[in-house]
Amino acid sequence: MESEIRIKLLNAFTTHQDEYLSGQAIADLLGCSRTAVWKHIENLRKEGFEFEAVRRKGYRIVATPKKVIADEIRYGLKTNILGSHIHYEETVDSTQKVAHQLATDGASEGTIVVAEEQISGRGRMDRKWISPKYTGVWMSIILRPQLPPHRAPQLTLIAAVAVVQAIEEVTGLTAEIKWPNDVLINGKKITGILTEMQADADRIVSIIMGIGINVNQKLDDYPKEIQSIATSLSIEKKEEISRAQIIQSLLFKLEKLYQLYLQHGFQPIRILWESYAISIGKRIKARTLSGTITGKAIGITDEGILLLEDEAGVQHQIYSADIEL
Ligand code: BTN
């Protein structure tokens, strides 16, 4: 379907969710015949939209497809840069891999890669990220900040703040951050963030910000051993959540924070990040590649590095670790 007609039609239905739109009203809106309206609706049905048709009343939308089609993300997207190009795929190895390739081929800042399913989703520290079909937000965002490479970890922290704010806006649920990049609800992981970088010696060429949000998984969808540590928005909220809305809100929040960061540096982000963080001020265990350090998390530096004070009062700078509370 030509995309302009499609957008008009879907806009009309989604802004009149509970009302019937007559065939004639739609025909007037689209400037086409009633037969053409019927054809457009049939096309949408093939994509998974469901309509109820009632004689003398017209059509009403009753369900949108499970898929997060790119157009659904586009409507109502209030950003200027993020999501300006949407690269949508049904199945990929990893959206990170696709985004790296697009970035290498010159994709512009704000290009996003969204997939319904990842076969080899990647987590931090070489772990897997399970990404079943139609259940989550599996997305990678290409950024091109003009910054030196050592500032890249700050962008992970920006992403975590944006995720917390988006979850709050769309679902009303309160989420918290566990350094550096886990977002938890009621102590269980809801989101993982993996920030990767293409860089020269002294400047970032591109940042590939990978965000995985568990949205509509049911508890049974998780293996037993994961059920106590992972959750989804729908498990917590006890209703289905629109993945398109989560993406829209996330891109909007992220763009605002990214602009704030580019204009005013990391300080304002750090304040927000610390206000959402659960580990700060608490005794934690940090498992690093070179050993485990136990102590009190006292904050993060302006580079986004975790400061830990051990029993002897010695301060450690933690660049990468798994944190146990
Ligand atoms: C972690 O917590 O270990 C980070 C998980 C990051 C997962 C996301 S899903 C979208 C993007 N593509 C990937 O393969 N990984 C990231």
ipTM of this predicted structure:
0.99
Q: In what order do the strands lie in the sheet with 112-118?
A: 86-92, 112-118, 136-143, 204-214, 188-199, 182-185, 176-178
Report DSSP state, residue 106: T
Domain identity same for 129 and 25 = no
Domain closes at, from 47, 63, 79? 63
Question: pLDDT class for 246, splitting at 50, 70, 90?
Answer: very high
Please determine, for residue 324, whether its predicted confidence score (pLDDT) is greater than 80. Answer: yes
Mapped to the 3 state alphabet, what secondary structure does 210-232 carry?
A: EEEEECCCCHHHCCHHHHCCECC
Q: pLDDT at residue 67 above 90?
A: no
Q: Is 245 annotated as a binding residue?
A: no
124 is in an annotated binding site: yes
Weakest-pLDDT range from 4-18, 74-88, 98-112, 230-244: 4-18
Q: Which of 19, 38, 63 is the endpoint of a domain?
A: 63
**248 is annotated as contributing to ligand binding:** no
Does 306 lie in the same domain as 271? no
pLDDT score of 64: 76
Q: How confident is the model at residue 2 (pLDDT cuts 50, 70, 90)?
A: low
Q: What CATH number has the domain bearing residue 54?
A: 1.10.10.10
Binned at pLDDT 50, 70 and 90, residue 208 comes out as very high
Question: Does residue 198 sit in the same domain as residue 302?
Answer: no
Could you give the CA distance from residue 46 to residue 61 in angstroms, rounded to a whole number? 14
Residue 131 banded pLDDT, cuts 50, 70, 90: very high
The best mutation among 163, 194, 246 to test binding of ligand 1, ranked by most ligand atoms within 8 Å of the C-beta, falls on 194
DSSP state, 17? T
- Claim: this prediction has a pTM higher than 0.90: no
Can you name the residues that pair with 54 across neighbouring β-strands?
A: 58
Q: Do 28 and 88 have their domain in common?
A: no
Which has more pLDDT, 178 or 75?
178
Whether 297 and 264 map to the same domain: the answer is no
Residue 155 sits in the same domain as residue 301: no
**Residues of the domain holding 57:** 3-63
Is the same domain home to 164 and 103? yes
Residues 41 and 80 in one domain: no
Same domain, 122 and 76: yes
User: What ligand 1 atom has the least distance to the C-alpha of 123?
Assistant: 3
Residues 231, 290 within the same domain: no
- Distance (Å, whole) CA 150 – CA 185: 30
Is 83:91 a contact under the CB 8 Å cutoff? Answer: no
Q: Ligand 1 centre and the CA of 101: distance in Å?
A: 16
123 assigned binding-site residue: yes
Does residue 14 sit in the same domain as residue 84? no
Residue pointed to by tokens 């009149």: 16
Residue keyed to tokens 């049974």: 220
Number of domains in the chain: 3
Query: Does residue 1 surpass a pLDDT of 70?
Result: no
Q: What CATH number is given to the structural domain containing 253? A: 3.30.930.10
Choose between 125 and 276: higher pLDDT.
276
Residue 227 has pLDDT above 70, yes or no: yes
Query: Does residue 69 register a pLDDT over 90?
Result: no
Q: Give distance in angstroms: CA of 164 to centre of ligand 1.
A: 16
Most ligand 1 atoms within 8 A of CB, residue of 117, 122, 156 to mutate: 122
Last residue of a domain, which of 63, 82, 101?
A: 63
Can you give the pLDDT at residue 253? Answer: 98
Q: What pLDDT shows up at residue 279?
A: 84
HEC-encoded secondary structure of 248-299: HHHHHHHHHHHHHHHHHCCHHHHHHHHHHECCCCCEEEEEECCEEEEEEEEE
- The reported pLDDT for the residue numbered 191 is 98
Q: What is the pLDDT of residue 16?
A: 78
Q: How far apart are CA 278 and CA 178, in angstroms?
A: 6
